[in-house]
A and B are shown apart, each in its own frame.
Chain A
Amino acid sequence: AQSVTQLGSHVSVSEGALVLLRCNYSSSVPPYLFWYVQYPNQGLQLLLKYTTGATLVKGINGFEAEFKKSETSFHLTKPSAHMSDAAEYFCAVSPSGTYKYIFGTGTRLKVLA
């Protein structure tokens, strides 16, 4: 069965520091990959997605992610954290040929002043 693993349920970074949130998936066929952000009491908002083509994907709010097929990874990065980045982040895959998403368990990002 397809699965998504997000290492680290909680990550803390200092304001201005690099943000790195990890996501690995299990799939025999490269899926579509997504990162969503969830602010308190709000719905999931799409940050970025990979479907085909360029493996480095840029999203909103300065985030980007790189699809590495050999490592089955899709880690999310941002060069410099802002206080407003504090939220929960979910990695999701859409297995090839299906439309349903399989989500990871999420990583709560805390940004320290």
Chain B
Amino acid sequence: GAGVSQTPSNKVTEKGKYVELRCDPISGHTALYWYRQSLGQGPEFLIYFQGTGAADDSGLPNDRFFAVRPEGSVSTLKIQRTERGDSAVYLCASSPPGSTEQYFGPGTRLTVT
């Protein structure tokens, strides 16, 4: 079946602009996660959704970052007033009910110029 998909695969934006990154989880997966992977680092947790609600958003670095999952499926990560330090690969993952195993998408590479 289809895996986790993320769009766009690459996004280049200017400093100060607003961006949206989309994640389409595996069908039937109730949990959804966002991570950020900076160059040479491992992924860092940003936010976790269980259904439509954010169960844990402790990893969001500041209030410029926001994520939604209005219907419990597709999620959008929104970044306002982008900064060059936001440049990274943003990964999305999903899990089936009752499982801690996460299935990762290919990521969106964000470059802020």
Q: How far is the CA of A94 from the CA of B56 in the complex (A)?
A: 14
Q: How far is the CA of A106 from the CA of B93 in the complex (A)?
A: 18
Are A32 and B100 within 8 A (Cβ)? Answer: yes
- Cβ-based interface call for A102 (8 A): yes
Contacts of A104 in B (CB 8 A): 42
Given A32-B100, A100-B56, verify A43-B91 contact (CB < 8 Å): yes
Name which residue of chain B comes closest to A103, CB basis: B42
Query: Is B44 within 8 A of A43, CB to CB?
Result: no
Asked whether A46 lies within 8 Å of B105 as measured between CB atoms, the reply is no
How many residues on A have C-beta within 8 angstroms of the other chain's C-beta atoms?
A: 25
Given the known inter-chain contacts A43-B105, A43-B107, A49-B101, please indicate yes or no for A106 contacting B31, CB distance below 8 A: no
Closest A residue to B4 using CB positions? A43
B65 at the interface (CB under 8 A from A): no
- Contact in complex: B56, A101 (CB < 8 Å): no
Question: Which residues of B sit under 8 angstroms from A100, Cβ to Cβ?
Answer: 33, 45, 48, 56, 59
Given the interface pairs A42-B106, A44-B104, the reply to whether A105 lies near B45 with Cβ below 8 Å is no
Q: Which residue of B lies closest to A41 (CB)?
A: B106
Q: Is A80 an interface residue (CB 8 A)?
A: no
Fill in one digit per residue for A41-62: 1 if any B CB lies within 8 Å of its CB, else 0.
1111110010100000000000
Is A98 located at the chain interface by the 8 A CB criterion? yes
Contact: B100 with A94, CB < 8 Å? yes
Q: Which residue of A lies closest to B109 (CB)?
A: A41
**Within residues 78 to 113 of chain A, which ones have a CB less than 8 A from any CB in chain B?**
90, 92, 94, 98-106
Complex CA gap A91/B56 in Å reads 22
Contact surface of B with A, Cβ cutoff 8 Å: 3-4, 31, 33, 35, 40-45, 48, 55-56, 59, 91, 93, 95, 100-107
